[in-house]
Amino acid sequence: MVTILLLEDEHYIRRFIKQLVSGNPLVDKVIDTPSGKEAIGLAGKYKPNIALLDIKLAPGEGLDGIQVAKTIHDYLNPETHFVFITGYSEYAIESFAVHPYDYILKPLEEGKLDEVISNLAVKVKDKIGTGHGPRKITVKAGNKQYIISLENIIFIEKQGKCSLIHTESGIYKSYQTMESFESMLGSNFLRVHRSFIVNLNKIRGIREVGNRSHMIDFDGYDRVALMSRYKYEKHRRMFTPL
């Protein structure tokens, strides 16, 4: 499913773009908003594959499209492809901080926009079809950001309002949600409990610990993860009992 987030504060332009993009047979869903703050919330909820962002928003917003893109890229979904739509060419250089796929100036050319969306949608669907996820994720821990290889992650654990990322090199504390991690991780990761996501390649085995509860043990790591009874029954063939 190719989902597009559209941020444009001018009503008639937003409606025009939404109608045009929605008519593309490769696009499944278009979520639109005039607000930068709402765009960030929608990005966290829907994890769009593509974001079409107007750069210069209404003065009262406090955000511009580039700031919205940076928030999405750094904290919500680094796999989102960004296309900036604006009437101000001077923003082009600044926008490349988030490596945009393209930059379209107003007034819009229907053919140009449709071509960009079609090319990106094909790229997204090809990636989904191969089952390949990102090889690295960007995680904010305190006032720092870390780039973590997926192969080094053992499991992710929810503790209160934060998430603990257990890796071969240490534990990172982040305030990103479990849902956001699920959207970023590849097919080698499985949500086994509301508070645990595990790397299937790191599991040594699973054991029952009473009351039909289960714990997952990992190769070379002394911490364990919990697995819900429902998830165990659903995925039991994937695991080796201890």
Strand spans (E) along the chain: 3-7, 29-33, 50-54, 81-86, 102-105, 136-141, 144-149, 153-159, 162-167, 170-174, 189-193, 196-199, 203-208, 214-218, 221-227
Q: Tell me the chain's radius of gyration from C-alpha atoms.
A: 20
Q: Measured between alpha carbons, how far apart are the two ends of the chain, in Å?
A: 38
- Read off the pLDDT of residues 182-217 as tens digits, 9 standing for 90 and up: 877 776 788 899 999 999 889 888 888 877 678 999
Q: Is the pTM of this model over 0.75?
A: no
Does the pLDDT value for residue 242 go beyond 60? no
Residue 182: Cβ-neighbour burial (10 angstroms; 0-12, 13-18, 19+): middle
Instruction: Round to whole Å and give the CA distance between 177 and 161.
Output: 8
Averaged pLDDT, 72-101: 75
Last residue of a domain, which of 74, 102, 130? 130
Instruction: Report the candidate in 62, 106, 29 with the shortest Cα–Cα distance to residue 6.
Output: 29
Name the band, by pLDDT with cuts 50, 70 and 90, for residue 91.
low
Instruction: Round to whole Å and give the CA distance between 175 and 198.
Output: 18
Structure tokens given for 131: 């089952």
- Read off the pLDDT of residues 116-163 as tens digits, 9 standing for 90 and up: 888 888 878 766 655 555 577 777 766 777 888 888 999 999 999 889
Last residue of a domain, which of 130, 157, 174? 130
User: Residue 135 falls within a domain, yes or no?
Assistant: no
Residues 161 and 196 in one domain: yes
CATH number of the domain that residue 101 is part of: 3.40.50.2300
Host domain of residue 192: 141-238
Residues 46 and 85 in one domain: yes
